[in-house]
Chain A
Amino acid sequence: MTKAPLLEIRNLTVAFDTPSGTVHAVNDVSYSIEEGETLGIVGESGSGKSVHALSMVGLIATPPGRIVRGEVIFNGRNLLALSQRELFDLRGREIGFVFQDPMTSLNPVLTIERQIAEPLRRHFGMSASQARIRVIELLELVGIPDAEQRARQYPHEFSGGMRQRVMIAIGISCNPKLLIADEATTALDVTVQAQILDLVRELKRKIGTTVIWITHDMGVVAGLADTVQVMYGGRIMESGPVRSVFYDPRGAYTWGLLKSLPHGERRGTNRLYQIPGNPPDLTQEPVGDPFAPRNPFATDRCRVETPPLVNAPDSVPGHKVAAWYDLRAEIQRMEGRP
């Protein structure tokens, strides 16, 4: 592929200055995403998965936040060099967002129509009646029945799932090139989540949106993403095509996460594998592999030197891992195989 990626992040590093010290939230993150690709980013709270996405488009408060270094090249432009005004024009129009909590992201005193129409009027200068037509179209696209009538209602008249559909309608209203969803289905019930995920798959098919789907749920990523990126302690620990990373993980954190989830086991079977220890303290200056203190396979080198994210040996193209240890050899040794 010779085409430039839609988004390329280089060495993004973000810190927060807090009373209890500097929080090293994102450390030297680099990756790129092709047009039409769906990238799933998994990680737990404090992994940097949300903060890095927000900081790309100027959505972190500065101070206390601070972009230490890095470049974010989107469609040929470095977003970190743009003015607030330029970012304001870009957000919603070229990059759409869907956040976790639809109740706090929607304004309770404005109708659904007003809220979906706002970016349309702002970015495209649509008149109220032009915007109304597009709003109805969008509500129908995200599967809200009786769209014309529902558009005149307020957020409290919508269920949680319906509100999240409205959030997606706002996110895609201006046909953004990139849609970033941050834990967009986490607050929803599983049956509603299933509907929203179906909707996203359908939108990808219909309008070819490029998607970054940020979540802690490995199951959601397995079903939605083409490529996956696993973050821990503000770093990318492993990335690559979703099948390769899930079936042949090379990072101890990815492996541990997958192993610790029940795979349909019954009660009374083996204990769940548990990753020992606790998440890292981000106020400590990052030294070495952030997962090393919890990694049973960590070597002395892991504790002092940060491993670079490089191609995983004997794996498919694009599968990368940041590890000094050889996970496959370690697992073989652990399971007592030659």
Chain B
Amino acid sequence: MSDTLSTTAPQAGSPLVSVRGLSKHYGGERRLLGGSAPLLKAVNDVSFEIAPGETLGLVGESGSGKSTTGRILLQLETPTAGNIAFRGQDITGLSKHALKPYRRDMQIIFQDPYASLSPRMQVGEFVGEPFDVHGLSGSRSERQDRVASLFRKVGLDPSFMKRYPHEFSGGQRQRVNIARAIALNPAFIVADEPITALDVSIQAQIVNLFQDLQDELGLTYLFIAHDLSMIRYLCHRVAVMLRGRIVEIGPCEAIFDNPQHAYTRALLSAIPVPDPDIERSRRPLSFDVNANLPSEEAVLRPVGDRHFVLEG
């Protein structure tokens, strides 16, 4: 890659992605006949950093703001407040044009592998499209070769390039999406529930692929999921979100072995384990979200090495 942005290595110890005080509010605007629409704080004062080559897991229930956080990070939505820095550069609110070089470096993979594909486009075209968008196509045969190599990288037979999405299984479709996401050699990928919609027998294939690609390409991931056992397997650190706030963040071992927030404990205790004896003695802890909403003044306090819990 000739692009300076892709080749500039981050300084040692400096984060690849850093987010400060990120908020996204919906509603709250004045209505024509007085009063105002109800205010929803989908993401509320969220801060974290991700180091190069690291996988940060983001977990929480539906409506906790985890997907919105991922989308804001990639500037697919504008934050109400806060800023996002990529390799130390503030990219918040950049124009489409100014953002374009960063787009090559930051990609997203969605939950539904079919919805994100274009049904009438051959999958080879779909995977190669980012080359065209960024003017990197080269000759027809060069482009073809690069797409074929991407197919091999994600475990697809390059002879499938001329096929259409409906001819693929769910797992293969997700491989197509991953191939497109890595086409421009990005540094950072937001994976938003990328295995949730897949058959159980396919999930391990895709999880292994994510790990292989990270080893091979040095990728940094924000991995959004609600399956905590996969998060534990895949991530270096985990952030737990509840109603728009991070209530706990820390190294995977700290979160799973020594959870501090009542919500994290409830979440961990609720995961069904594929072991009948363990299951029969498991007692899920209950947690009433509405009775335990974090107060606006609550702040993340350190409780261990890189381990923080929302208190107050």
Per-residue interface assignment for chain B, residues 263 to 282, with 1 indicating a CB less than 8 Å from any chain A CB and 0 otherwise: 00011011111111111101
Which of A2-10, A125-133, A255-263 contacts the other chain? A255-263
Per-residue interface assignment for chain A, residues 253 to 275, with 1 indicating a CB less than 8 Å from any chain B CB and 0 otherwise: 10011101111111101011111
A-B pairs with beta carbons under 8 Å apart, 8 shown: A195-B286, A217-B200, A222-B272, A260-B204, A266-B233, A274-B208, A275-B202, A279-B202
Please, which residues of chain B bring their CB within 8 A of the CB of A276?
205
B229 and A264 within 8 A (CB) = yes
B51 interface contact, C-beta 8 A: no
Taking a contact as CB atoms closer than 8 A, the residue among A194, A216, A243 that contacts B284 in the complex is A194
Please, which residues of chain B bring their CB within 8 A of the CB of A267?
55, 232-236, 252
Minimum distance in angstroms from A289 CB to a CB of chain B: 15
Interface of A toward B, CB cutoff 8 Å:
44-45, 160, 189-195, 197-198, 216-223, 242-243, 246-247, 253, 256-258, 260-267, 269, 271-276, 278-279, 294
B253 interface contact, C-beta 8 A: yes
Please, which residues of chain A bring their CB within 8 A of the CB of B287?
191
B36 interface contact, C-beta 8 A: no
Nearest A residue (CB) for B62: A189
B199 interface contact, C-beta 8 A: yes
List of 5 A-B pairs having minimum Cβ-Cβ separation, nearest first: A219-B272, A223-B279, A44-B199, A194-B284, A189-B61
- Best-surrounded residue of A217, A223, A266 (most CB of chain B within 10 A): A223
Contacts A189-B62, A267-B235 hold; do A273 and B279 have CB atoms under 8 A apart?
Answer: no
B122 interface contact, C-beta 8 A: no
Please, which residues of chain A bring their CB within 8 A of the CB of B229?
261-264
Per-residue interface assignment for chain B, residues 40 to 77, with 1 indicating a CB less than 8 Å from any chain A CB and 0 otherwise: 00000000000000010000011000000000000000
Nearest A residue (CB) for B172: A278
- Best-surrounded residue of B270, B274, B286 (most CB of chain A within 10 A): B274
Please, which residues of chain A bring their CB within 8 A of the CB of B256?
264
A218-B274, A246-B276, A260-B200 given; 11 more Cβ-contact pairs under 8 Å = A189-B61, A189-B62, A190-B271, A217-B200, A256-B201, A260-B204, A263-B274, A266-B232, A267-B236, A274-B204, A279-B201
Q: How far is the CA of A274 from the CA of B205 in the complex (A)?
A: 5
B274 and A258 within 8 A (CB) = yes
B200 and A44 within 8 A (CB) = yes
A265 and B232 within 8 A (CB) = yes
B226 interface contact, C-beta 8 A: yes
